[in-house]
Structure 1
Amino acid sequence: MRKMLWLFMLLTMASMAHAGASKPAAPPDVPASEIDAAREDERLGEVYLRNGNLAAATAAFNRVLRSSAFARLPEEQRYHALAASGLLAQEAKENEAALRLLRQATGFRQADGRIWYTRLAIAFDLKDYTDSAYCVATIARRWPETLDDINDHAIYQIADRLDTTAAQASKRQMLESLHDARWMDSDGVPSPLWRDLARLLIAQGRMDKAAAVAAQIDSARVAISMRIDKRFDGITQANPAAYDIDRIARAEVVAARERVRAEPGTLRRVTHLQGLLLGTREYDEVIALADGVIAQVKDVQGSSVYKDFDEEYVWVLDQRARALARQGHWDEAIDQ
């Protein structure tokens, strides 16, 4: 099924490439026969794709790209040849080549969100976090409604890997694009990222925007880190009531409890609440939440009760063990 969808995507691009594409006049430096040959190779590539012959399609599109007539082809056909070659290289697990080709393809106005998402996936797999950040920023600016298709953890990982002086511009551009797109992570406001963005804006002297970004932060842990960090003094000391840790922590727990009630089939909401309660030292509630989950799945398949059971159940137990340890129940914590 994946390959059928992928082939459909390529063939859709091909039909777009040829819709209204006119045959250009041969310029003096490129014989008309070479332009015709390049166009024929592209047509053959499409035929091979329809027949599922990916090796032959790859060879045909490669001939198009290597042709001296490539630059003389209509823009739509050049885009299609680059994008198709990039996707074929990805299918062949030649990710370095795929990324190089898709970087060229996304330089064309025809490049849509699917191609940008593919470029992002390949760059991320290759640990090219600068290129990944550029893709995220572009998607946020051009297709903000599709940002939920990007895994939260991937965005946090990209931001973390760019936390160096040399990469600050890439990180700021990504975070500012996400902020302007009103992006939210699966737990709500991405407070750690907005703190980082505020810090980068302060470094640029953009205090008004930094303060506006920081005002959206709703995490007590993040607010503590800002009150400790002298770089934020111009924000935190100017409005101390907004960074009252106890007030923020209470509001954060109330909101997390509401999300647990609103999504009873999602364990992620439970583990998030448990983490907050560990921070406010409400250990009995951490244990009670875990016991409730354990009782729910005692005699059934956990995945029939919670959609994210396989990923999150271990963390429910982990947080229960942490609460027991903090209460001094060491043997019970070790058993858990």
Structure 2
Amino acid sequence: MSPASPTVPPSTRRTRRRWLISRRRTRSGPSPATEQADSGRMIDPARLAALSATSPIACCANASAAAGCGRAAGLITCLGTDAHGLSGASIHRQRAGAASDRGLLGCLRAAWEGLMQTVLRMVMVASLLCVSGCLATHETASGTPPETVAMGDAEEQGGNEAWAYAQRREAAIALARTSDDFITARERLAAVMAEPLFQQVSVSEQRDVLSAAAWVEVRSGQYQPAVRYYRRAVQLDPGDPDDWHRLSMAENVVGNQDAALDALLYLVQEWPHLVDALSAGQVLAMSGTTQTDPAKRMRLMRTLFDANWKREEEAASSLWYDMALALIEHGDREQAKEVIRHVSWPYPLMSMQADRRFDGLLPTEPGYVVVSLNRLIERLEALAGDNPRNLYTQNAWMEALMHAGRHEEVIAISGDILARIAAETPQQPAFHDSDDENFTMEIRYRALDRAGRIEEAEGALVRASELTEFGEPNIRQKLALAAWYNGMLRPDEAIAAIDRLSAMAEAPDLLLRDEQLLIAALIKGERDQADELLMRIREKAGDDDSRLLTRALLRSGRMDEAEEVLVRRLQDPRLRRDALLFAQVSPEPEPLPGSVDYRRDWKALLARPAVKRAIDKVGRVQPYEVW
């Protein structure tokens, strides 16, 4: 199995972390009037009514809010929820005044958030349109001239100031969550926090502002200040699971592994019903690191195992691999054997069969993986049928079919899905999570490539790269598109595809970008530029990136150095998994023109005596009928 082709699905260990955990987007994106760009907070009707009651236009505001709340009941009763795993659910919460937040079903929350945002904006518009009418009514009833009404007493003026401040605060939060004008967003939020009224609002409202400020820093790639804001937010009001989730990710990005794990543990302990909403990428980052307390890592994995975390998802199988290996290292092979029974996806099973540490805990015959895969496909097909409006479930089913080499079925299924999305309307979305369309497109492109439909494959990948990823500018499919262009010997297009990645690109993303830039430089014959990029990859690649370094060395024709890195990976218990997995023999699509030499060199590397000895010492190589 070659780790080079852009048609090879990425390891779940490198799954991008999902920062935006509560979106429900349509193909065309959300309307500003119906959805916040970043949720994690709701507008409570009582809070809205309290704000409007302090205004001289309370009649308009309360009427609008009441009408909106009446519609909410109808919307909530007509929404369905997923009955099985693979829900793609999000961390969500319900606000009741200043009370602690608690989770609701993701789709209910999405509808409620959108509706309440609509109500809030209706109130603000109504405020502007009918203020003069309200003043006139007041004058008619009391005989008091408008000048007297405008002056009011001190209490009324204070109420008006509070109302105006609330509007400024909500506007600053909305700007922070929807605009790419990070400088202005920072200025508006700083101004809101600097006002004396900031200390007078509830702690939950102060937390909303701090959380929004943290999100601005995340979206602009400034993770250190994001950590500081999220820490302040959870210290002030620890009742929001979204903030703990994002604090864990931000701490991890800046290298504070212990703090990241602590935040994630707090989240799963306080909100056990939300474990399926956790970012798979973040959970795997925490379970796979050796820089944290092993007892805490095991506590996280055991908690998720007992909760049957992300049932039937590939991420769960990868996590159970980590857990089983940790148990083996602690001498608890019986418990490890029980955990292994829950592993169903082919790559984790192949990794265990290839690794002698797992001998005796599962069958070693390749046919065992094929049987497990076929059973998995049956279960996922049933789940997809039971959850026809859950796109994530459909994508998982198609990924399993791809492993089985059933790409023609995937082409048909994905075509039907995309036709449904194209026909959807804001009132009748095809899926609860149409924002996962970019992953559907990526799966379709790989299926088309395997079928030899090259032009259609490229078109699907281009389309995938143009869609948002978790609601933000795309990174993963842009990198895949650059790899495709390099494979097609079109280096200038590869460079253009990744010329300006999103500010949210993390260190692993930037290394993948450098790899594609290196390949492009080699294709163009720019050896000096390629050498500079290789040097940068060497300097920045950590242990977890040694597979990428191996690829870069092979591309650069440095076979001896590539051999040293691969042997070192095989000898290191922490890095052995992927090294053994990609040594296995399995069906592959024909290489693109730009990958022919690399495929040849990879096989030559595996055939080297030193590499073969290193493999035989710790594992085995077998042929699999698994793509």
Picking from 281, 287, 298, the partner of 1:156 is 281
In the alignment, is the contact (CA less than 8 A) between 2:211 and 2:233 conserved in 1?
A: no
CA contact (8 A) 1:256 1:269 kept: yes
Distance (Å, rounded) in 1 between the aligned partners of 2:395 and 2:307: 27
* Secondary structure of 1:235 counterpart: coil
Match of 1:331 in 2: 455
Matched to 1:134, the amino acid is D
Structure 2 residue corresponding to 1:275, chosen from 386, 399, 405: 399
Residue type of the alignment partner of 2:432: K
Are 1:166 and 2:291 an aligned pair?
Answer: yes
Instruction: Report the Cα offset of residue 179 of structure 1.
Output: 1.3
- Cα RMSD over matched residues? 4.0
Alignment of 1:15-164 (within 5 A): 55-56=195-196, 89-90=210-211, 93=214, 95-98=226-229, 100=231, 114=239, 118-126=243-251, 127=253, 128-148=256-276, 150-151=277-278, 154-160=279-285, 163-164=288-289
Note if 1:193 corresponds to 2:348.
no
String of CA shifts for 1:171-211, please: whole Å, max 9, x gaps.
33321221133323584881111111111111111222211
Distance 1:105 1:299 in 2: 45
Q: Which deviates more from structure 2 when the two are superposed, residues 294-303 or residues 227-236?
A: 294-303
Would you tell me which structure has more helix in proportion to its own residues?
A: 1
Cα separation, 2, equivalents of 1:168 and 1:333:
45
Change (3 A) 1:324 1:214: same
Cα separation, 2, equivalents of 1:138 and 1:177: 12
Contact preservation (8 Å) 1:162, 1:171: yes
Question: Equivalents in 2 of 1:251, 1:185: separation in Å?
Answer: 14
What amino acid sits opposite 2:273 in the alignment?
A: E
Deviation track 1:250-277 (CA, whole Å, cap 9, x = no partner) reads 1011111111211111222222121111
Structure-1 residue corresponding to 2:416 = 292
Letter in 2 for 1:191: S
Query: Relative to structure 2, which stretch is displaced further, 93-102 or 271-280?
Result: 93-102
> Equivalent residue for 1:262?
386
CA contact (8 A) 2:381 2:397 kept: yes
Q: Which amino acid aligns with 2:264?
A: V
Q: Which of 433, 447, 464 pairs up with 1:308?
A: 433
2:352 alignment counterpart: 226
Once residues 195 and 331 of structure 1 are traced to their aligned partners in structure 2, the CA distance between those partners, rounded to angstroms, is 38
Tell me the CA shift for residue 280 of structure 1. Answer: 0.8
Distance 1:168 1:232, change over 3 A: farther
CA contact (8 A) 1:132 1:158 kept: no
CA 1:179 to 1:102, structure 2 compared with 1: closer, same or farther past 3 Å? farther
Instruction: Determine the C-alpha separation between the residues in 2 that align with 1:162 and 1:87.
Output: 30
- Show structure 1 runs of 5+ residues with no match: 14-47, 62-79
From 442, 446, 456, the equivalent of 1:322 is 446
CA spacing shift, 1:266–1:137, aligned 2, 3 Å? same
Q: How many equivalent residue pairs?
A: 270
Q: Do the aligned partners of 2:345 and 2:376 also contact (CA within 8 Å) in 1? A: yes
Deviation at 1:88, TM superposition (A): 6.7
Q: Separation in 1 of the partners of 2:302 and 2:399? A: 28
SS, match of residue 264 in structure 1: coil
Cα shift at 1:145: 2.3
SS state at 1:121 partner? helix
Structure 2, unaligned runs of 5 or more: 1-35, 48-94, 101-161, 167-191, 215-224, 461-627
Q: Residue 252 of structure 1: which of 369, 373, 376 is its match?
A: 376
Answer 1 or 2: higher relative contact order, Cα 8 Å, separation at least 6. Answer: 2
3-state SS of 2:342 partner: coil
Equivalent AA in structure 1 for residue 324 of structure 2: A
User: Aligned AA for 1:132?
Assistant: A
After TM superposition, the score normalised by the length of structure 1 is 0.64
With over 3 angstroms needed to count, the CA separation of the structure-2 counterparts of 1:261 and 1:84, relative to structure 1, is closer
In 1, the alpha carbon distance for the partners of 2:455 and 2:403 equals: 22
Residue identity opposite 1:175 in structure 2? M
Whole-angstrom distance in 1 between the partners of 2:198 and 2:410: 56
> Partners in 2 of 1:293 and 1:89 — Cα distance?
39
Residues 193, 248 of structure 1: alpha-carbon distance in 2 compared, 3 angstrom cutoff: same
> 1:68 maps to what in 2?
none
Percentage of matched positions with identical amino acids: 19
Q: Find the counterpart in structure 2 of residue 25 from structure 1.
A: none
Partner Cα separation in structure 1 for residue 298 and residue 401 of structure 2: 32
**Per the alignment, do residues 243 and 225 of structure 1 end up closer, same or farther by CA in structure 2, a change over 3 Å counting?**
farther
Deviation for aligned residue 1:283: 1.8
Q: CA deviation at 1:143?
A: 3.8
Q: Give the Å deviation of 1:289.
A: 0.8
Equivalent position SS for 2:339: helix
Distance in 2 between residues matched to 1:210 and 1:241, nearest whole Å: 19
